[in-house]
Copies of this chain bind each other. A is one copy, B any other.
Amino acid sequence: MAPPERRRRSTQRDIARHAGVSQATVSLVISGGAASNQIAESTRRAVLAAAEELGYAANVAARSLKGGRNRLLGLYTFESVFPTDQRDFYYPFLLGVAEETARQGYDLLLFSSDRGESSTGTPTAERSIYAGGANRLKIADGCVLLGRNVRREELSALVREDFPFVFVGRREVDDGELSYVAADYVSATGALVAELARLGHRRILYLRALEDSEPTRDREEGYRRGLAEAGIVPDEALIRRLADPADLSVDHLEEWIGGLGITALLVEPTEDDRLTGALATMAGTERVRFPADCSLALLGDPPSWTPESRNWTRFSLPRARMAGEAVRVLIGLLDRESPEPRQLTVPCEFVPGDSIGPVPARPVPARPVPADPDGRPTT
């Protein structure tokens, strides 16, 4: 019993037969390349008519196998985007990429499949570009990359392969240069420090991420520069790292205020809502108030784009704009003959918010105060 004939896609050869020309002619007409003006108008029309009739669609695989273009851009995220608390963070990026991609006449390929297969055929749990031993991204003409927990070795491989891609965020590898569109964390953090200094703060704690990725390094750099410009001598004890931002408790904070004498806090937010969750919990206790007891500013956006429960003082990165810029850079790479890596830095926006203020007047325990008969300070 013969298996039911699977309907085959029509190919250029089918069209060629139909129109009574060669496959090469069809290709010239369809892809409309440089040499396509050598085709007679009548032939062109015949081919197009046949193509229309047969419902022809170019085969991406074959096209890109030849090295041609698919008008396809990829978007790859090193983190999984779907956990509810992360996707809000990534949505503006997605939107920016999608919009600009569309505007440029490209379609967008979301590399979202988690279930890669290793070369041995066993499914791998981890998210990877080289799933199945192949660079999946190559389906697309080029790719925008995103994410905090970058796999360095994969980035390196991409650079070595000379695959056109642009990272949203500053990233570096040992193997060579890569293109990116980054937010100017250095200046933005520096500006926040300057603002705090202007308000009189001298002991500003910087609560940084545990991992030592570029964005974090840039913020630390900005922190140091800001201090230097304000003439404050940095105190290494004021740079703290927290393994899990959810651990940030009011106990910690009181310890820092009391023990370290800090009056302001700079916190690096996370993509998920662990940090904002911790802040909300802290607000619930009402033991420390911002900015009455301590100023607090975020070094970036809290994840959710829904109206905040609190309008934190912070800087905000223009996520959609960065994403759009990344697409433009990428297309630039694709169009150029010898793609020099390009780096672009865009400024962050300062959001005044309401969580910083002047240094709170506080009784200084060590210094003796002129006592009244009761021994209690006057109010």
A-side interface residues toward B, CB under 8 Å?
3-4, 6-7, 9, 30, 32, 48, 51-52, 55-65, 70-72, 81-82, 87, 91, 95, 98-99, 101-115, 117, 119-121, 130, 132-139, 157, 160-162, 306-307, 337-338
Contacts and interface: CB of A to CB of B under 8 A. Distances in A.
A6 B162 contact: yes
Contact of A56 (B32, B134, B160, B338): B134
B56 A133 contact: yes
Contacts of A108: 109-110, 112
A112 B119 contact: no
20 contacts: A6-B162, A30-B134, A32-B121, A52-B133, A59-B138, A60-B61, A60-B70, A60-B139, A61-B65, A61-B138, A63-B134, A82-B95, A87-B95, A102-B115, A104-B115, A105-B113, A105-B114, A108-B110, A109-B109, A307-B307
A98 B70 contact: no
A162 B8 CA distance: 8
Contact of A130 (B57, B99, B162): B57
A61 B64 contact: yes
Contacts of A6: 162, 337
Given A7-B161, A112-B108, A132 B58 contact: yes
B112 A9 contact: no
Given A91-B91, A98-B110, A135 B48 contact: no
Contacts of A87: 95
Contacts of A101: 112-113
B57 A134 contact: yes
Interface centre among A7, A30, A134 (most CB of B within 10 A): A134
Contacts of A161: 7, 9, 55, 57
Nearest to A51: B133
A77 to B, nearest CB: 11
Contact of A107 (B60, B113, B306): B113
Contacts of A58: 132-134, 139
A332 B55 CA distance: 24
A214 B133 CA distance: 46
B107 A102 contact: no
A59 B68 CA distance: 9
B121 A102 contact: no
A133 B48 contact: yes
B111 A107 contact: yes
A160 B112 contact: no
Given A58-B133, A101-B113, A7 B71 contact: no
A162 B55 CA distance: 10
A5 to B, nearest CB: 10
B102 A82 contact: yes
